Amino acid sequence: MSGVTGRGGRGGGGARVRGATAPLARLPEVRLPELRPYDGGGLEPEGDGDGLAFTEADLTDEDGRRASFLDCRFDRCVLDGTRLGRARFTDCVFEGVRGVGTDLAEASLRDVEVRDARFGGLQVHGASLERVLIRGGKIDYLNARKAVLKDVTFEGCVLAEADFAGARLERVVFRDCVLRRVDFSGVQMKDVDLRAVVELDIAGGIERLSGAVISPTQLLDLAPALAAAIGVRVEAAQVG
């Protein structure tokens, strides 16, 4: 299926419509201690970045693969080409960061808040996200293939051409978001709430909405594509 668009509506086998309630995603509980300023010495593979405040740091092309970050804050940092594959982020906040080609493949994010970020080509394929809040901002070309998202909330953000192919989504909420050309091919969903999506444009995988909750308005918009996905032809009856 390509170019399937549904309008948002606040309202959950197959995609459920309003009437069945999806469990809310658990939000992160981040309480940062007093932090030490980052000294600008650069990231290190397998390094420890505990209790640091990264403020307006330019981490372009830095290598922090398999590093561990606990109780850290990243404010207005540049993450262009930053390599953070298999890194671990626990109890961290990202505020106003931006990056092109940021690599978080197979990383682990737990109890993390991301606010007003702007990313292009963000790589989180194979990553694990648990109790993560992504609020505001815009992500173009998100690669979340085969990622595991559990208790993740997207709120007031724009996702353009996000690829969730083969991912597992459990208790994931999209609230006041724009999803343009999103790919759900091969996705496994459980208690995924799409009812409050402002713009829902599904480029692939509409038949994988089993386990999602949608609004009645979205159901009407998606009905022709859903029928085509299961092989149902819709034609007017012949009279006479």
Give per-residue pLDDT as tens, 82-98: 999 999 999 999 999 99
Residue that the structure tokens 């593979």 belong to: 45
Give per-residue pLDDT as tens, 221-240: 888 888 787 788 777 777 76
Q: What is the pLDDT of residue 82?
A: 98
Give per-residue pLDDT as tens, 51-109: 999 999 999 999 999 999 999 999 999 999 999 999 999 999 999 999 999 999 999 99
pTM: 0.88
Q: What is the pLDDT of residue 221?
A: 86
